[in-house]
Structure 1
Amino acid sequence: MSTAEVVAQRSAVLPAPAPATAPALATVPLASMSKPPSALSGPSSTSTTTTTTTTTTTATATVDRIPVPFASSRPKRVRSPGLNRDEKQGRTPKQRQRSFTKTMEPPVLSFYGEKPVPLPSRFGHLKRRLAAGHEPALEASWGRLLAALREEIKHIERGGTDLIPSIDFNDIGNSISVSDFSERVKRYGIGVVRSVVAESDAETWVSETKKYLETKHEFKPPPAQDPTCFDFFWSPCQVRARAHPKVLQAQRFAMSIWDTTDDDRLATRFPICYADRIRIDTNTTSDLNVGNGTNLEDALPPATSSTLIAQVDNGSLERWEVDGYGRSGCYDAIWKGEWEKYNPWDPTGRIHATTDLYNGAGACSMFRMFQGILALTTVEPGMVRLLPSPKLSTAYFLLRPLFSPKTPAPEKRDASAEEWQAYLDPSNWALEKEQTTIIHGAVPGHAQRVTDTWHPHLQLNSSLIAPPTLRPGDYIVWHPDQAYVFDKPPPSLSMLVYTPAAPLTQTNALFLARQRKAFLRGHPGPDFDSTGSGLGSEAPHTGRLDEKDIEAVGGQEGLQAMGLAPWVIDKALVEESKAPTPTEEKENGNGALSQGISNGRAEGKISATEADLAREANIILFPDRFDFWMPSRMGTPSIDNGSKGKEKEIKAEQAA
């Protein structure tokens, strides 16, 4: 039977033709055949996801139509011409672009409201588990902690800005200057390294960055509660600062203050970059037009303007979570009621901690040993304030959710001093028998907040102090558990670059691989836009620096810090692990690091752990480099780049 006869036979049993309003043969444009079904039928009415409007380019030539003989005979719904969804909502083509789904704004009720937000029930179980078996010790330690805090606050009030040590960059090789600086940093958690970048270079970077920002027409405005923090990641000053050899040396010096050992799986001699944002505060007299027209005081709700709120980076709930900092027992001494034994400078419990369990917007997932800011303009005291007590303040805000007052706080802030003293007295506080689900200042996906309402014993109005005046090129660092706040706007243009100090670790190398891709593509840092769609892209922007610019600023070390070049380790410089001598232990305790001595190690020598970490990082970042993982003649993995070629040279020399 021929094809024509088959078609005729099937047509004979088809239903009667539909009315004239529904043609018997449906026609479909050829151009539409290439579209996915969703594009032909429109978005589903039951979909709960946001629909993104896209622009489709179609050819203007005549389109052939093909018959569809077995189309449904049901009358086809014909849409009358009219306004589409965008036109109905009055959206312009500019407004039809994908909305910014990632916001840095914290939940207002949790951080600025009168009462903290209760969390899911599992957090009540979590708090009970932390206290289980240690109840008497915790109650006793809480009393000791409040007494120590009372004296600590008095000490901070007396010392003020003078408590924060400073050291000139040229003196970081002076053992006497380093010893005093390191001791005070470990006591107060804050330090300033002067003249890391020349003032002339800082001025050039500011000028270059102003031009970069003013010519970028599409960018996400800063969040309402922090209108001076902009979501730029690859501006000229940021890229140059991260690769600058003196900045990397200052970071290496700062990280040496920690109580590290050769067995710790981190390498402070290999600082790596973290793509953070840029802080620009523009006064009305400034000529920089970047779009922020509000200040912090205007942005906060009027009912909460009297509440002082400080921030602690590197996670919030993660500090209580088993899968967060609990994985390596970072705060175990505190949970056991022995906060005096807690060492905030021991990195062991932090190397493998997960600081971002909830994929929060802007929540750091890299291990940072210091938060840091490089000043590119003069910063007068008061713009930023910090709490110089890394040990006591951390123990307090961790234990605070386990305790509650027997008598609530006075209703009025201007209540008598006797009323407030009675409220703050240790006898008025007790370990909760039935732990609530509240963890004060902590919610999933956001940084830890410390407030004068929920953490009254910290007395933030008195304990937050301003660092000394920062000149262009100065670098200030503070402990990652330290509370800080930006509150006083400067009188003129202020530009600060977030430049935290992070060591090389296995997890940091994995993060660096993602960050390198973001840099090459011009995308936001991985922690700030995990979807790749929320904050836009700097890729098309003119003036964006590339690998050649990084190499021009920082050479191979600058490229390595960005994951753009492998670490080259000479096997002859690798030392075997050995027990430190008393002299070395003393040097380690003081955090000494000069250009000749590093943790008691001779200049140029590196530990076997550091060499192994460099090898692992090279495998992660450059898996296509054959000689990084190929076993050597001795049966151990090769460490340095080009080792295979060196072995050939050795064999050739031996043969000769």
Structure 2
Amino acid sequence: MSDARPNIQTALAFLKQVKSEMPTEYDTFLEILTQFRSKNVNAEMVVTVVIEMLIGREYLLQGFSQFLPPACRDCLMERFFSPTKSAKLKSAKHEPDGPEMSSPEKSDGEKQRGKRRGGFDQSSLIGTLPPEQKRRRESVGEMDLRPNAFLNSYAGMGKRMTQQQIYQAQLKKTIAPRRLAEMWMMLEKRIEERIKQMEAAGSSWIPSIHVDEILRDEVPAQVVEQVKVAGVIKIRGVMAREKALEVNQGMMGDLRHYLKVDPDKPESYEAIYNEENPKAFTFGGVQEMYYTRGQFEARQDEKMHKVRVWLNHLWSYREKSTRKLLFLPDVETTYIDRWRHRLPGYDKQTGMKEHIDNGAMCRWADPAWQEVYKEIMQGRLEDYDAWDVGKRTETSGSFFRSFQGWLALSPQGPNDGTLEVIPLVTEAIAYVLLRPFQEDVPVHQFCGVSDTGGGDTIEITSRWHALLLKAKVPVGAVDAGDTVWWHPDLIHGVEADHAGCQPSNVLYIPASPLCPQNARYLAQQREAFLRGDAPPGFPNLRIENDPERRVKPSQLTELGKQLLGLEPIPKSVLYSSRWSEEEAEEREKLFDECCSLLYQTPA
């Protein structure tokens, strides 16, 4: 291969091919290249990350090799495309597919599985797409876990495992699930059956009710059953349509006032979507404002409050063995979140990849999360209940949301840059948890989690979770004033493109019952609100810096003040004819414990 540097046309052609083959991972691919160009990462890290992404796509690896220094390129080509390896693969051409035994003399970095596929177009230096789309991945086999060993799946490139990667490899050995092969086969079959059921049910797979059914206590039992299967529900008419549109106009006015942009002129957003101020908006359209009048009007809305209480009651909120009360479903609170504003046709807003919120590495590493998912990891999926709160209120996350949710401020539906979900809450989380233990995954890798172990989301990608992505569907059409709610484990994302004709806007409002974990967070959140700072854990950009426009405590309703912890929550919310005297006493005890945490003087 020539050492001549590829030209811009070659580079663009390669990027186009990567985007075509890896649409859900393309943004990550571009991001690592952008970080390199900005000198935030070195060349070695770029090569490491890109090779990890491209393993199993040899024609793309070949295309990538042309951009490497000659020595690194030769190492890569020797590892994946040596004549000896090609001859062995060719001799195995007529053997049935399946695991191949690595020769004892081979190093870990040389162990391969499956068949090499695809050719390479030397004239363009771009790998040609193979006729067969079956992918081959690398089997890393058993590896030495000593810190000084060449441990990871890039051993042939001369890179050592980081301490974090060593920890992750050790963790995987420690928590390796039981009956993995049997359970994986059963799980894949179950997901495929669910997908067929989804296709047969069509739009009815995601249940949809009107808020009046909740207010009259007339929600059909089959709706509740379907929510527990799908993990998502649409509740229509929670806010009057005219009121929601009025809130929408107010939010647009806040954008104009604080950020000096005009939603009618997308070019005005160029000042926001740049490297100097990248967090005023995320590239998915999520906007960092928290304390606007419209947001508080929605949070303290009476119907919204009753919907959130109803959602809390869909959970089993007692500890299984002791029957200890773990949260108070009738006592709802306000978790202050952001909002999403998508402009039609604005290509700098790229949506959000499919992901799971509320914790990444900790879902395997944290003892509380391990307890939540123990039936899955013990090979007893039939005993796992996604709606048993268990230790979720004691996990390393700072806040327990019984449901994530949003209120639509504008009419929106498929292709309007709005919500997509994988509505299989039990099967999907089991797949995500077990996927890292399959043979095609590097020894240290937790699929969808950064190698640094950081981050608060698990990314769902075509490389690791292709079967799940077959179940991805748009949440469907909603009108202004409608709401969508989903289980905190549910895989969800935001469409990459907005092909509609008007901005697609939603306010994020979760269901957040009172429990000790939430009470601690609410005390910190209240103080942040009073100081004018962002809520705990959010970027403190102080965008809402106009004291005349920003909501003050005196402007909130009594309910709004109570939900935020600014005024005491009345004990009367606990009392119901449904509870025995013993149950009422237990609830009062937990309520008092939470209030002592909520109203204590912060350290």
**TM-score bracket for the superposition, by shorter chain length:** 0.5 to 0.7
With normalisation by structure 2, the TM-score equals 0.65
Q: In the alignment, which of 520, 524, 536 is matched to residue 526 of structure 1?
A: 536
C-alpha displacement at 1:349, in angstroms? 2.4
**Pairing 1:128–2:134 present:** no
Rate the CA distance shift 1:153–1:473 in 2: closer, same or farther, 3 A. same
C-alpha displacement at 1:373, in angstroms? 0.8
Q: In the alignment, which of 542, 545, 548 is matched to residue 554 of structure 2?
A: 548
Aligned residues: CA RMSD: 3.1
Rate the CA distance shift 1:152–1:214 in 2: closer, same or farther, 3 A. same
Aligned to 2:22: none
Rate the CA distance shift 1:521–1:113 in 2: closer, same or farther, 3 A. farther
Residue identity in the other structure for 2:448:
G
Q: In the alignment, which of 477, 480, 489 is matched to residue 472 of structure 1?
A: 480
CA contact (8 A) 2:357 2:458 kept: yes
Aligned to 1:251: 308
CA contact (8 A) 2:342 2:505 kept: yes
% identical equivalent positions: 26
**Pairing 1:517–2:517 present:** no
SS of residue matched to 1:454: helix
Aligned to 2:438: 403
With normalisation by structure 1, the TM-score equals 0.60
Q: Deviations over 1:295-318 (max 9, x none)?
A: 317xxxxxxxxxx94111111111
Aligned to 1:586: none
Rate the CA distance shift 1:395–1:222 in 2: closer, same or farther, 3 A. same
CA contact (8 A) 1:370 1:477 kept: yes
C-alpha displacement at 1:195, in angstroms? 0.7
Residue identity in the other structure for 1:214:
R
CA distance in 1, matches of 2:385, 2:522: 28
CA distance in 2, matches of 1:495, 1:112: 36
Matches within 5 A, 1:500-649: 500-529=510-539, 534-551=540-557, 555=558, 557-569=559-571, 600-601=578-579, 607-623=584-600
Rate the CA distance shift 1:250–1:494 in 2: closer, same or farther, 3 A. same
SS of residue matched to 2:507: strand
Q: Deviations over 1:597-623 (max 9, x none)?
A: 8xx548x99733332232123222323
CA contact (8 A) 1:212 1:542 kept: no
C-alpha displacement at 1:371, in angstroms? 0.8
Structure 2: gaps (5+ residues): 1-39, 41-45, 56-152, 155-160, 261-271
Aligned to 1:393: 428
Residue identity in the other structure for 1:561:
L
CA contact (8 A) 1:221 1:230 kept: no
C-alpha displacement at 1:252, in angstroms? 0.6
Residue identity in the other structure for 2:168:
F
Pick the structure with more helix per residue. Answer: 2
Aligned to 2:508: 498
Matches within 5 A, 1:187-336: 187-217=229-259, 220-222=277-279, 226-261=283-318, 263-283=324-344, 294-296=348-350, 309-323=353-367, 325-326=369-370, 329-336=371-378
Matches within 5 A, 1:388-467: 388-405=423-440, 436-443=443-450, 444-458=454-468, 460=469, 462-467=470-475
The structure whose Rg is larger is 1
Structure 1: gaps (5+ residues): 1-100, 102-106, 285-291, 298-307, 356-364, 406-431, 575-595, 626-656
SS of residue matched to 1:373: strand
Ranked by relative contact order (alpha carbons within 8 Å, sequence separation 6 or more), the top structure is 1
CA distance in 1, matches of 2:204, 2:181: 34
CA distance in 1, matches of 2:303, 2:223: 18
C-alpha displacement at 1:110, in angstroms? 8.8
Aligned to 1:377: 410
Aligned to 1:24: none
CA distance in 1, matches of 2:281, 2:463: 22
CA distance in 2, matches of 1:315, 1:614: 27
Structure 1 runs of 4+ aligned residues shifted over 6 Å read: none
C-alpha displacement at 1:260, in angstroms? 2.5
Residue identity in the other structure for 2:479:
R
C-alpha displacement at 1:224, in angstroms? 8.2
Q: How many residues align?
A: 426
Q: In the alignment, which of 492, 503, 507 is matched to residue 484 of structure 1?
A: 492
Q: In the alignment, which of 179, 195, 199 is matched to residue 153 of structure 1?
A: 195
Residue identity in the other structure for 1:179:
A
CA distance in 2, matches of 1:226, 1:483: 19
